[in-house]
Structure 1
Amino acid sequence: MLHVITKKFSDLSADELYAILQLRSEVFVVEQDCVYQDIDYKDQKAIHVLGYKNKKLVAYTRIFKPGDYFNEASIGRVVVTKNERKFGYGHIIMKYSIEAIKSFFDEKVIKISAQKYLKEFYESHEFIQVGKEYLEDGIPHIAMVKF
């Protein structure tokens, strides 16, 4: 079972921040073999959505109000540790993130920059592709919006 909490950056403990950065690095840098600047000074503006299993961070996103990342509200850094993906935690953390955008920002329209291979995953959450494919940090991405 996944226990999900949301926190502003200023409410994160040092251990929570460390776990977030470790998980993002484990998946986006090591597993995906992508050298990029993960620490981008956007975490301070984000609401962090943390998914725990047995007190270990296994799923995560960060959400933004309109204007802080895109003109629309947005979800980014969607990540689930490799050994936990088979349990559907990506879907759970996305549902919580969509609900968090509604409750924190009173917004329905959400824009994301999605890795192209996850298009069907995001479509299952009612996102649709807008525009053409582009490279971000050497990985094919597409812009997607949920209306």
Structure 2
Amino acid sequence: MEWILKSYEELSKRELHIIFKERVQVFVVEQNCPYPEVDGDDDQAEHLWLEDQGEIVAYCRLFPSGVKYEEASIGRIFVKEERRGEGHAKVLLEKALHTILQLWGEKAIKIQAQHYLNTFYTSLGFSNISDVYLEDGIPHVDMLLTTAQN
């Protein structure tokens, strides 16, 4: 298995196709949530994923501050359904946090988290900064992590 971090420009057509396919499978099909998954923001993101023999096991996209929010952000976080429970989500987020905070030198990260994952994200240092709200019919909460919390 190999961790990969690439800008949009570095992605091959095949990699981009696989990323879109897997994100649609998780966020549209699996969650039964029809929404425009390919949102036009991918070209502003760094894409981080764990690959196992050509298969994306875990994935997220990273944005510097000023793109999605005033703070840096992480989004489209998923672990492939049949690979959940193997610890990939925690390692994925640890790698994402390291990239944004240590390598990029950002001071804060804001995410829109699905509410049922609140405990997972708080265990990584995020704090709730909003009440629970519906986003595409799914309960979410805005969360923030700052370097003062690390």
Same fold (TM over 0.5): yes
Q: Displacement, 1:103?
A: 4.4
1:106 is paired with a residue whose SS is: coil
Q: Hey, what does 1:12 align to over in structure 2?
A: 11
Q: Displacement, 1:123?
A: 1.0
Q: Is the 8 A contact 1:129 1:143 kept in 2?
A: yes
Question: Structure 1 unaligned runs (5+)?
Answer: none
Q: Is the 8 A contact 2:114 2:141 kept in 1?
A: yes
Which moved further from structure 2: 67-76 or 98-107? 98-107
1:71 is paired with a residue whose SS is: coil
2:134 is paired with a residue whose SS is: strand
Which moved further from structure 2: 12-21 or 49-58? 49-58
Residue identity (%): 40
Runs of 4+ in 1 over 2 A off after TM superposition: 102-105
Q: Displacement, 1:95?
A: 0.8
Counterpart Cα distance in 2 of 1:108 and 1:96: 16
Q: Hey, what does 1:136 align to over in structure 2?
A: 135
Aligned residues: 146
Counterpart Cα distance in 1 of 2:34 and 2:24: 10
Q: Hey, what does 1:115 align to over in structure 2?
A: 114
Q: Hey, what does 1:71 align to over in structure 2?
A: 70
Q: Displacement, 1:121?
A: 1.1
Output the TM-score relative to the length of structure 2: 0.93
What one-letter code is carried by the residue in structure 1 that aligns with 2:133?
Answer: Y
What one-letter code is carried by the residue in structure 2 that aligns with 1:145?
Answer: L
CA displacement, residues 16-64 of structure 1 (integer Å, 9 cap, x when unaligned):
0011111101111111000011111100000000111233111100000
What one-letter code is carried by the residue in structure 1 that aligns with 2:22?
Answer: L
2:93 is paired with a residue whose SS is: helix
Q: Displacement, 1:100?
A: 1.3
Counterpart Cα distance in 2 of 1:24 and 1:7: 17
Q: Hey, what does 1:26 align to over in structure 2?
A: 25
Q: Displacement, 1:5?
A: 1.1
Output the TM-score relative to the length of structure 1: 0.95
Q: Is the 8 A contact 1:129 1:142 kept in 2?
A: yes
Counterpart Cα distance in 2 of 1:15 and 1:87: 26
Q: Is the 8 A contact 1:23 1:58 kept in 2?
A: no
2:117 matches 1:126: no
1:86 is paired with a residue whose SS is: coil
How well do the aligned residues superpose, as a CA RMSD in angstroms?
1.1
Question: Structure 2 unaligned runs (5+)?
Answer: none
What one-letter code is carried by the residue in structure 1 that aligns with 2:46?
Answer: I
